[in-house]
Amino acid sequence: MRLLCQHHQELDRITAAWRRTGALCRYRWSGTTRDGPSRGLEEKGESIGKHVTKQLFEELASGTTLDRVAADQVIPFAALAEGESQFIIPAVSDHVLASVWLAETLLATQVRIDGQRLVIHGIGFRQSPNVDCQG
């Protein structure tokens, strides 16, 4: 926790310096949010910065081995690797479930999800000696 406190103090100093400049940053996005379709919402950059910082600190303190964005990205590579790969993920998202389905269906690998633990038994993919990948 000491590390997080040091980073938090540094962020407070950066935020204070930003406030002194008087600059106003606005961020606009469209699409959908967790609560449904957005309506061209605008927020001050400071508000977004606080939200993202909070998410970062939560993920650092969670003890997971992958963040919520990387969790589904690693599955295909672990499925191709040789042996067993284990990861602790923040949540089992739809993206994770889709990557697991693809790995099991296309690569015939075994994937087990126990709570937040993801266990992947890789197939040990090897390049065929008859294929020239050098050009």
Q: For residue range 68-125, what is the model confidence (pLDDT) as tens digits?
A: 889 999 999 999 999 999 999 989 999 999 999 999 999 999 999 999 999 999 999 9
Q: Which residues make beta-bridge pairs with 112?
A: 119
Check residue 79 and give its pLDDT.
96
Domain presence at residue 111: yes
Q: Which domain holds residue 84?
A: 71-123
Q: Which two tokens stand for residue 131?
A: 């294929």
82 touches 109 (CB < 8 A) = no
Check residue 124 and give its pLDDT.
94
Give the global pTM.
Answer: 0.58
Domain presence at residue 117: yes
Edge-to-edge strand list for the sheet holding 117-123:
82-88, 117-123, 110-114
Placement of tokens 């061209």 in the chain = 40
| Planar angle of CA 118, 124, 125, nearest 5 degrees | 115
- Structural domain count of the chain: 2
Instruction: Assess whether pLDDT exceeds 70 at residue 17.
Output: no
Q: Which is the catalytic residue, given 7, 8, 51, 95?
A: 95
120 touches 85 (CB < 8 A) = yes
C-alpha span between 79 and 75 (Å, rounded): 6
- Our answer to whether residue 95 is catalytic in this structure is yes
Do residue 56 and residue 7 come from a single domain? yes
